Amino acid sequence: MKCLLIAVAAVATLGFPAFAQKIPVVEKQLPNGFRLLLVERHEEPRIAGGWVAHVGSANERPGITGMAHLFEHMMFKGTPTLGTKDAKRDLEIIDEQERVRDQMRAEETLMRAALRRGDVEDITRPEARTPRYKALEEQFKKLVDEQRALLVKNEFDRVYTTAGASKMNAFTTEDMTGYFIEVPSNKLELWCWMESERLLHPVFREFYAERDVVFEERRMRTESTPTGRFQEQFNAMFWDAHPYNWPVLGWPSDIPAITKKQADDFYALYYQPQNITLVLVGDFKPDDAEAMVARYFGRIPKGNQPPPEVLTQEIPSYAEKRYNAEAETNPQLDIVWHAVAAGHRDSYALEVLEQLLNGRTGRLYKGLVLGRQLATDAGAGNQSRKWAGMFEVSAEAKDGVSLDDLERALHEELDRLAREPVPAEELQKVKNNFAAAEYRRLTSTFGILYRLIHAEGVAGWREINEAGPRIQAVAPEDVRRVAAKYLSKENRAVARYTRKAGPGTAGDDDELAGLSPEQKPIARQISSSVKQEKDAAQLRQMLAQMQAKAAQGDPKRQQLAKFIKGVVERRLAELEPKK
């Protein structure tokens, strides 16, 4: 507690206190609908600038899932003055590409009809494509090659970095799409011009190529990980009615089917000024910054109609759901309960409950890993999103421990929290950790920007100042009450992952016996990736690198390398059978 008080005093000296004081946010409204948040801060000659479009995957619909995330990519493609050597011809090519794609979509309709009849098994395979479709593909490829010759790759990024900017990136969640960068304080006008230009004059060049990039990102994040596809299905099973039930990256059949016309309509609806909040934090004078922002962003016309709200609410859960999967991973449990949206009065007690359970000093780790020695790891998480929330716990079983025993022990830990008030000392320790974490997050210009973007996108920017005191006000009875109310059997879904049996599994397990507990999960994950690799050349390169380093490292690392080498060799034998 003494260390925390010192930290709080240090923050107050800097002008940015921890949870006890507020971030001095000034909110302005532009005539065309933009909201502007300003935080003046002169500790360094930098300005962190960003904006949040109030649109995420929850604002999509079946058929265009993944659209919000696609726009995260498209907004970096440039403008008529950025990203091309010939703006006029560039736009002409885009129009010609769209005419060809319209004809290709007509053929895709025929191909989907063939799929429904059973004439083909997978319309993504080349042999399923109609002759007309193949001819159109060639025509489209020529247009793509012509456009690529005109492109100035990554010019948007180059202009910023040449001016001394850093940290440029973006993200998409179920509730928002955020964009951010940090620039020298004398480059505020550059930020205003660059960001307003890509909103006023966006050019969605390489639209169809970027769809393929997004599809590949989905493959890497979801389909190439041991549990990614299962977790996606488990999430869809958990949410009955709410649009949170599809992935942010989109369903695999939707991403390649999204049209530029659909994208243009989506952009016009959700990227209008009334649906965007601009955020500036750093070394500027608020009046001057507001005038400059108004000068550039004021050029953007107001939208014609307000974006619709998410109206579908999750229905009550009347029975426990269970999902059993075999995966190339250690046996583990994921248990999820329906909870509350961000800003709900119970969300703060659930945040405290998460921290009571989480981390090396939390109840799950101490009870299941150190105490009963049933798990190798255990943790909890509260996700209070804009429209609804979920609370989850997970645990990985120790070798030889059944998932039944692990699940029973996990529920015993949770039931104790629902029955018994948390001791005051334990609760205060969690509150101190919250205060210290908030102090760390809010002592840098960029940290404040990032927190404001997230708060604004989920519960409104005021949450950055209001959440801390509300967490400090959580009482032992509040924790007990939310544990009893939300962590009920009827309200939960349980995913159980057992190790997948199959060819080579027994041999893998024999070799795993010589590895340390820390190495086994790494070995299984690498093994899973190798077994899905289809490029023999990549595997041969990997094998050559491993052989070159075979004599290096300690014996324990050599044992891990030996295991991976065996997996690679077996996969190569499958891909390149001897004649």
Q: What is the CATH number of the domain that holds 242?
A: 3.30.830.10
429 found inside a domain? yes
Where among 449, 483, 498 does a domain terminate?
498
| Residue 367 covered by a domain | yes
Q: Are residues 507 and 480 in the same domain?
A: no
Q: Domain span at residue 343? A: 321-498
Q: Note every long-range contact of 58-61, with CB atoms under 8 Å and residues 24 or more positions apart, other chains counting.
A: 58/174, 58/175, 58/242, 58/243, 58/244, 58/310, 58/385, 58/386, 58/387, 59/243, 59/270, 59/307, 59/308, 59/310, 60/243, 60/246, 60/250, 61/243
Is 308 domain-assigned? no
Q: Are residues 489 and 517 in the same domain?
A: no
Residues 468 and 516 in one domain: no
Q: Does any domain span residue 78?
A: yes
479 lies in the same domain as 344:
yes
pLDDT at 52: 98
- Same domain flag for 367 and 450: yes
Same domain (yes/no): 507, 489: no
Which pLDDT score, from 0 to 100, does residue 575 have?
75
Q: How many domains does the chain have?
A: 3
Residue from 471, 356, 336 nearest 416 by CA: 356
> Domain boundary residue among 262, 297, 332?
297
Both tokens of 396, joined, read: 């990985």
Among 410, 375, 342, 365, residue whose Cα is nearest residue 174 = 342
Residue 309 within a domain: no
Of 440, 466, 498, the domain-final residue? 498
Assign 238 to helix, strand or coil: helix
Q: What is the largest CA-CA distance in the chain?
A: 77
Sheet holding 46-53, edge to edge: 26-29, 35-40, 276-282, 46-53, 177-184, 166-172
The residues pairing with 84 across neighbouring beta strands, listed in sequence order, are 151
**What separation in angstroms does the CA of 216 have from each of 141, 221, 256, 263, 477?**
19, 9, 11, 19, 48
Phi-psi region of 114 (alpha: psi -120 to 50; beta: other; left: phi over 0): alpha
Residue 142 included in any domain: no
3-state secondary structure of 337: strand
Q: For residue 132, give every residue at least 6 positions away whose Cβ sits within 8 Å of its Cβ, in sequence order, or none.
A: 103, 107
Number of CB atoms found within 10 A of residue 33's CB? 17
Assess whether 329 and 429 both reside in one domain: yes
User: Does some domain include residue 114?
Assistant: no
Sequential pLDDT tens for the chain (579 residues): 333 333 333 333 333 334 446 899 999 999 999 999 999 999 999 999 999 999 999 999 999 999 999 999 999 999 999 999 999 999 999 999 999 999 999 999 999 999 999 998 888 888 889 999 999 999 999 999 999 999 998 999 999 999 999 999 999 999 999 999 999 999 999 999 999 999 999 999 999 888 888 888 888 888 878 889 999 999 999 999 999 999 999 999 898 889 999 999 999 999 999 999 999 999 999 999 999 999 999 999 999 889 999 999 999 999 999 999 998 888 999 999 999 999 999 999 999 999 999 989 999 999 999 999 999 999 999 999 999 999 999 999 999 999 999 999 999 999 999 999 999 999 999 999 999 988 888 889 999 999 999 999 999 999 999 999 999 999 999 999 999 999 999 999 999 999 876 544 444 555 666 676 667 767 776 776 777 676 677 777 777 776 666 545 555 567 777 788 888 878 877 777 654
What are residue 174's phi and psi, to 5 degrees?
Answer: -65, -25
Helices in 461-576 by DSSP H: which ranges?
463-472, 476-486, 505-512, 519-532, 536-548, 555-575
Please classify residue 537 by burial: count the beta carbons closer than 10 Å to its beta carbon, then call 0-12 exposed, 13-18 middle and 19+ buried: exposed
Please tell me whether residues 537 and 481 are part of one structural domain: no
- State how far the alpha carbon of 527 is from the alpha carbons of 219, 341, 398, 402, 504, in Å: 17, 39, 20, 23, 11
Specify the pTM: 0.82
Is 121 part of any domain? no
CB-count burial class (<10 Å; 0-12, 13-18, 19+) for 404: exposed
Indicate the DSSP class of residue 125: S
Residue 325 shares a structural domain with residue 427 = yes
Residue 567 C-beta-side C-alpha neighbours within 13 Å: 26
Distance CA 474, CA 481 (A): 11
Residue 160 sits in the same domain as residue 282: yes
If asked whether residues 281 and 378 sit together in one domain, one would say no
367 and 483 part of one domain: yes
Which residues, 6 or more positions from 184, have their beta carbon under 8 angstroms from its beta carbon? 45, 46, 47, 163, 164, 165
Cα angle value 47/51/54 (rounded, 5°): 160
User: What pLDDT does 125 receive?
Assistant: 84
Is the distance from CB of 393 to CB of 448 less than 8 angstroms? no
